Each structure stands twice: as structure tokens, then as C-alpha cells.
Structure 1
């Protein structure tokens, strides 16, 4: 790849490889029969200096995985363990993906990973084929896009390349088309990365990993007298914020295993995700979650349980009292983050914890009282800007519902709040009667023309509308340092 394709924003910084052979295994990408570029995220690429790549160069790097200049020379399959539905599994690891490159983000100087899904078999593949269905790749592009628009810390789908293989899957019509996905994410160091080291009682390596995470992602903790506790406190805060943003977005991750949570508090690796059609604490995303362990309303419990498993690993090298204090901060951190998330979703300026918690409670009561008639996303869309959107809400598709007694308490609370950046309401997005959603029926409808006629038009149009929503709301990563991971 010619260096002239790279902008000055390209700053390689491959740090994970310095941890050595105890943390990852060098691997090669599969040799795919085809490499057809289906999606490239030029906005994300611009943030790391790769937006100038031609499509041909893009496919060489993200379909054939030729190394990026001065970056990681070979892909690394990361080693980790994890609890899967609370059953410990020591046979995990990157089984169909790898860490491809690390580089700095323009503006924030965050270290970001380029990592894959569906790039072929690794030493950790077990009986899997190391591949990804094209439909699975499309679903991740959609989930990451809408979550970012709604202000959730998330990896970004960076590239999707169709790979020309027919895959057999037990949970969808087969054979089905294949793809390799590349995501841009803040970190892929999982809770399960620590769990693996604890499993082997490698206290020395746990200390090495703690130092790496602190120095790479939390340098402000460098002088902390108790690094394990300080790191756990930071991970607790980041995880609480992630959880709050999921709950405000009505998002159900579906598989909240310890290998699916990372130390930087970022959502990634989207499998059987769902967005809520309407308020339902018992809503489950994964068909195989028969006990509802990871249902919408149990996500706070799941995240805290996972944090407890991380804390247990850190007790091998840290003082129990400090770790326990960090864990005990979760509830307050989550409540604070949820207040902030709901205020952001409603586009309102905060008035202080006591006032704001009453507004949050009123919003959830209104969602509950709306029942089957009120979808989750339209509620926040209609009332974005608070009282400034009253005329819009009371003349829209749900006007009759909002004019009823069940919503009077909520509307009374809104009267106490000023809109945050009210100029956003002039955006064309808010002149429409309905918001962008990703209820499962629409996801299937977007896939059908691709599957049946290789028609990508509806998907691309949807992604354009999601991007317009992101700009209109002005939340998430694009909002700047306040919301940077």
C-alpha cells in the first residue's frame, strides 16, 4: 500500500504485542475465494487517517489483511477465558477474529484497535469454522450505527467485505453468504483476559496486564497507591455508564458473558441483540436465553455480576478492602449515569440529582403506562427537547396517548426543564413523524433484498438515515471529550 494513501492523522502505535506470547498467538487470515467490499466507514476511517485508501487498497488491508505501515506485523488471536451464562469456560479465545492493528485517534489521542470477526480459524476455534455470515456482519453494522447515534459507547463497524463462501448454520437458513468484519474499538482486553491469568494462577502476569491497562487506557491512575483497586474503580464507572446508555437506548445485548465486556466500558461483538419494541423488563434478545438471564431488566444484575468476577481475579494481587470499595461504588455510579443518559435522550439540561431522579422515574412510569400502544424509541424522539417539543408531540402519531392522564405527571416534570442545545430541534430529523428504529422486523426486511436480489439500496438508505439521526442528536463519541471513552 502506497504511503501517499495515508493522511497525517495516521499514527500507528501497536502496544498489545509488547505483552508477548502469554497473551496472544500470531495467526494468518483465511484465504477467501472472493473479497467484495460491501461497507466502509469513511467517517471512522478519517479519525485514524485511513479514509484516503482506494477501494482496492482497502480490500487488501481489510479483506486480505496486508499489514498497515509501521503497525502490527502479524495478526494476533487474543487469549482469554470467560463465564458463559455463568458457567466458566476455559476453552475460549479469539476463535474467529484477531487484533489486526492499533493506532491513535485524531482529536482524542485514544488508542484504538482494528480487530476482526470472521477472519478464519485460530488455535482457539475449537470446532468452529472461523467464519461470519454476511447477515451477521450486516446486523453488527446496524447495531453499532444506531447505538452510536443514541449516545452509547460502542465499537464502530469499520469494514464489511463479502468473502464468497457458503456457510452452514443451525440457527438460520443455510447455506448462507459469508463475510469478514473489521471493527474500530477502544480496547479488546476483556474481563475474561484477566480470568484466564487467574485460572492459571499467574499473578505475575495479572500485574503485568494491570500495568498495561492503566498505562494505556487510564494513565491518570499511574500514581495510584493501589493500582488494582484504582483500575477496578475505573472499570466499574465505565461499565456503569455503558449499562446506563444501553438502558436509555432500550438495547438488549443478549449475551453478557464476561468475555463480552471490556475494561474500557465499550459495547462490542453484537450477536443476538435487540432493541425494545416497547417497555418490557422481561424482553430477551437471544432465543437460547431460556431463563431470561440477560433480559432487558436484568442487565444491571448481569453487569455487576461480571464486575464481581473481574474483582475476584484482582484479589490475587490487590487488597480486598480497596477492591470491595470499588465494587460497592457500582450502584451510585449506575444511578448517576442513568440520570445523565435519560437527560441526554430527552435533550434536557440537568437541574441536580434530586430533581433529575424524579424526572427519570416519571419517564419510566410513562413508558410503562403507555403499554402496548407506546414504542420505546418514539417516546424519546417525540419529547426530545422537553416542553419545547410539546406541540410536536401533541400533533404527532401518538398525540392521543400523550394527552391522557397517564402522561400528565411526566409532562409536569418536563415543564421544570430547559432544552439542552435547543437549536437541534430545527434539524430535518425532527420534522419527521417517526424516528429511526431497529425493531427486528425491520432488520429482517433490510436483509431480505440483499439475500434475494443482492440489493443493498434499502440498507444503505437506512444507514444514511441513522447517520442523519446521529448528527441531529449530537450524542455519543461525536460529542467530544465529555463522552469520550
Structure 2
């Protein structure tokens, strides 16, 4: 896939290597070698994201060398690190985890001075592969491109898919027709430190390393101190709780179901990442699940907030290595207030209206949810139809929703996207229709068109209002 013409080319001088994790390398990961792939065919190159870290000036050959063969970037990590961590998987503790088909390849600073990581998926086996092949299907990579582009357009703080390179291997998987094509993917993320990273150190009793990790996170994912933060551990938990509450709200407002909210999939920077069996809601349904193996509905749409809060609790348990319980419990107890504030902020943002206060905004959210539940209208269509207080059709609540919206001041919204006949969405049938021509005829035009359409939608929405604790 060629870079889109509107993507600006930034000067190479923006490249600023910052391999700060090297100070933790002795215990946070294992040096590994990438797989030697039979082919490296460039399929997706995210020039917009690459420009943020000064990599957009690479030639295609240089890009493949670094993103497919993983030749070290200048003055960066000399060898990839497969990170070590534990985690709760569907709330069952598993100490046998770690980067099994990925690694941390490089760290850089963006134009704002934020530390950014280049992490991989499908780059080969590591000591943590657990008898897996360490590979990624090309379809899985395409799905991650779509998920990150859609989430970014809807204001979710998400990793970005930076690169997808097809690798020429045939893979066998039980959840898609096999043999299927293979790929290696690189994501651009604000950190790869997981709740499960802390859980591993707590389980092993490595208090000194825990303290070093807390310091690393506070130094590289800065945020407000919060209340009653007498210790670094409590300060970090307060920041993580606020970020996770905002992430939970962003999923609900986007109508998104992550599918696998395990503690090893929770980045303490508050950035959403790792998209496997994700879905967008076809209609407002709290019981809707994304993963076919989530038989209990633990991570159903309406239970995601509870799951993310529970995960914050597991971080608090790990931080007991360094801190007494009361300040950690106090931090956890702030989750609900942070979540309500984030919901009000993000809901009004997507509706295109100015906030009026937490109580009134929360009441409006309830009316909107009730309307969608009664009408069967999906969130994408609902927010589009009611953008800036416009209606387009009678509401389902006897005029209550219209009356509530009439009290809100619309935010100027002049982008031509709002005059389109229908909004962008990303239901599973469309995902399959985008993949089909790639699988059958190596035709990437539908994917290219969808990326352009999602970015246009993102321009129309503008940036989502950040939380105070966002790293």
C-alpha cells in the first residue's frame, strides 16, 4: 500500500532515539532474534504516524530492513527485547506469559517529547512463546489496521498500526480458513508496560525492581499527582486509575468491544492496544460480546467498565509490595468519579454539544442509551443523527430526548462529513468484505478507501478532550 498523498513528509531530523528501557533490560525482558522470513512484501506503511517520530523519510527498502528484518535503528536498542510479565486471563492468574510473538524493537521521542515504543506482533518465537509459532496472520494484521484507525477517529487513546509486511509463510489457524497468509506488524505505542509487568515482580518478590519500574513509569508517563499521594506507588496508581477510567469511557462512547481485557493487555500509560476478537456494536446491547470463547460474557460490552476497574485493583495488589493499603484503596475508589466525568466529557464531544455539568450530562447519557435500546439504532447512526443537537427523526422517548438535547449548546461543526448520507461504521460484515478481495485477488483498494474514509471522519470529530491523567 502506498502512502496517501495528503501525508506530509517530515524532516529526518525529527528522529530522536530514546532507548530508556535499557536501564531495566536486565530483568524486564529477554534479548531475542527476529524470525528470518522467506519474503518481506510491504503492505501498509503509516506515513502519518511515522512522521510523528521522524521515520517517514525512510525509503521502502530501508523501511523493510527495519520493520521486516528488524535491523536496529540508529542509536537505539541493539537487540529486540521480549518483555516478561504475568497476568490474569479471564480473571485466572497465569504466571506463564510474556511476549510470545512480539518484542520491543525501539524507543523514540515524538514532537511533544513523549516516549514512544515500536513493538511487534508476529515477529517470531521467543522464550515466552509457549509452543506457539510466534506468527501473525495477514488477516489479523488487516483487522488491527482497521481497529486502530476507527478507534483513533473516535477519539480513543490507542496504539497505531505503523507497518504491515507480508512474510510469505503459510499459517494454520482454527479460527480462519487455512492455510492462510502471514505478516509481521509494528505498532507505535506510548509504552508497553502492562499491569501484568507489575504482577510478575510482586509474585517474584522483586521489590527493588518494582520500585525502579514505578520510577520509570512516573518519569515517562507523566500525569497529575492526584490526592494524598505520599509515595510514588500511590501517585502512579492514581494516574493509572484516571487513565483507565477514561479508556473505559472511550470504549462505551465508541460502541466498541475489545474482547480480551486481561491484565496483560492493560497498558499503564492508559493507551488501548492489542486487538484480537474486537467488534463494534450493531445495536446498543450491554450483553454483546466480541470473543467467541467468552462464554460467560465476562468482557461483554456492558461489563467492560467493571473489568477495567477490576484490573486496576490487581495493580493495587501488586503495588502492596511498596505501599500500605489505605492510599491504594483511596486511589481505586476514585475510579467511578473519573469514569462519570470521562463519560460526560466524551459523550458530549461525540454528540457535538458543550457539557452542562456532570448531573445533567449523566441524565442525557441515560436518555440516549434508553433511546438506542428501544429503537435498535446503533451508536454510529445515533450520534451522527443527533450531532450538534439535530434530530432528523422523532426520538423514541415521547420527546424527552429532544427536549434534553435542546438545552445543550451545539459546537460549531462545519466539516462536510456531517452532510454525508450516513456515518462511517465498522461492523463485522464490512471487515469481511474488505478482507475478501485481498485474500482472493491481492486487491487492497477497499482497505485503502476505508482508511481514507475513517481519517476523514476523525478530522470531522477533531481531537477528543483529554483527561487530566492522560499520559
TM range (shorter): over 0.9
3-state SS of paired residue (1:143):
helix
Per the alignment, residue 377 of structure 1 pairs with 380
Per the alignment, residue 446 of structure 1 pairs with 434
Per the alignment, residue 269 of structure 2 pairs with 264
- 8 Å contact 2:289–2:299 — kept in the other structure? yes
Q: 1:265 to 1:379 in 2, by over 3 A?
A: same
Rounded Cα–Cα distance in structure 2 between residues aligned with 1:212 and 1:264:
11
For structure 2, list consecutive stretches of 5 or more residues without a partner in the other structure: 1-8
- 8 Å contact 1:252–1:295 — kept in the other structure? yes
1:22-75 per-position Cα deviation (integer Å, ceiling 9, x unaligned): 111111111111111111111111111111111111111101111111111111
Rounded Cα–Cα distance in structure 1 between residues aligned with 2:360 and 2:194:
36
3-state SS of paired residue (2:387):
coil
Q: 1:414 aligns with which of 381, 387, 405?
A: 405
Shift of 1:483: 9.5
- 8 Å contact 2:122–2:135 — kept in the other structure? yes
| RMSD over aligned Cα atoms | 1.8
Per the alignment, residue 398 of structure 1 pairs with none
Q: 1:155 aligns with which of 159, 164, 170?
A: 159
Q: How does 1:322-333 map to 2 (within 5 A)?
A: 322-333=327-338
For structure 1, list consecutive stretches of 5 or more residues without a partner in the other structure: 395-401
TM-score if structure 1 supplies the norm length? 0.92
Rounded Cα–Cα distance in structure 1 between residues aligned with 2:339 and 2:205:
31
- 8 Å contact 1:6–1:53 — kept in the other structure? no
Per the alignment, residue 461 of structure 1 pairs with 449
1:170-227 per-position Cα deviation (integer Å, ceiling 9, x unaligned): 1111000000010001111000000111111111211111111111212765995311
Shift of 1:385: 1.4
3-state SS of paired residue (2:43):
strand
Per the alignment, residue 125 of structure 2 pairs with 121
Shift of 1:430: 1.3
Q: 1:404 to 1:111 in 2, by over 3 A?
A: closer
Moved more, 296-305 or 402-411: 402-411
Q: How does 1:207-226 map to 2 (within 5 A)?
A: 207-218=211-222, 221=225, 225-226=230-231
- 8 Å contact 2:371–2:396 — kept in the other structure? no
Does the alignment pair 1:437 with 2:432?
no
Shift of 1:475: 2.4
Per the alignment, residue 5 of structure 2 pairs with none
Shift of 1:405: 4.4
Shift of 1:428: 2.1
- 8 Å contact 2:224–2:239 — kept in the other structure? no
- 8 Å contact 1:156–1:184 — kept in the other structure? yes
- 8 Å contact 2:225–2:238 — kept in the other structure? no
Moved more, 210-219 or 304-313: 210-219
Rounded Cα–Cα distance in structure 2 between residues aligned with 1:470 and 1:5:
21
Q: 2:292 aligns with which of 287, 311, 320?
A: 287
Rounded Cα–Cα distance in structure 1 between residues aligned with 2:196 and 2:305:
19
Aligned residues: 462
Q: 1:481 to 1:254 in 2, by over 3 A?
A: closer
Rounded Cα–Cα distance in structure 2 between residues aligned with 1:256 and 1:40:
28
- 8 Å contact 1:229–1:319 — kept in the other structure? no
Rounded Cα–Cα distance in structure 2 between residues aligned with 1:355 and 1:218:
31
Rounded Cα–Cα distance in structure 1 between residues aligned with 2:355 and 2:469:
16
TM-score if structure 2 supplies the norm length? 0.95
- 8 Å contact 1:344–1:475 — kept in the other structure? no
Does the alignment pair 1:85 with 2:90?
yes
Q: 1:405 to 1:208 in 2, by over 3 A?
A: closer
Rounded Cα–Cα distance in structure 2 between residues aligned with 1:442 and 1:338:
28
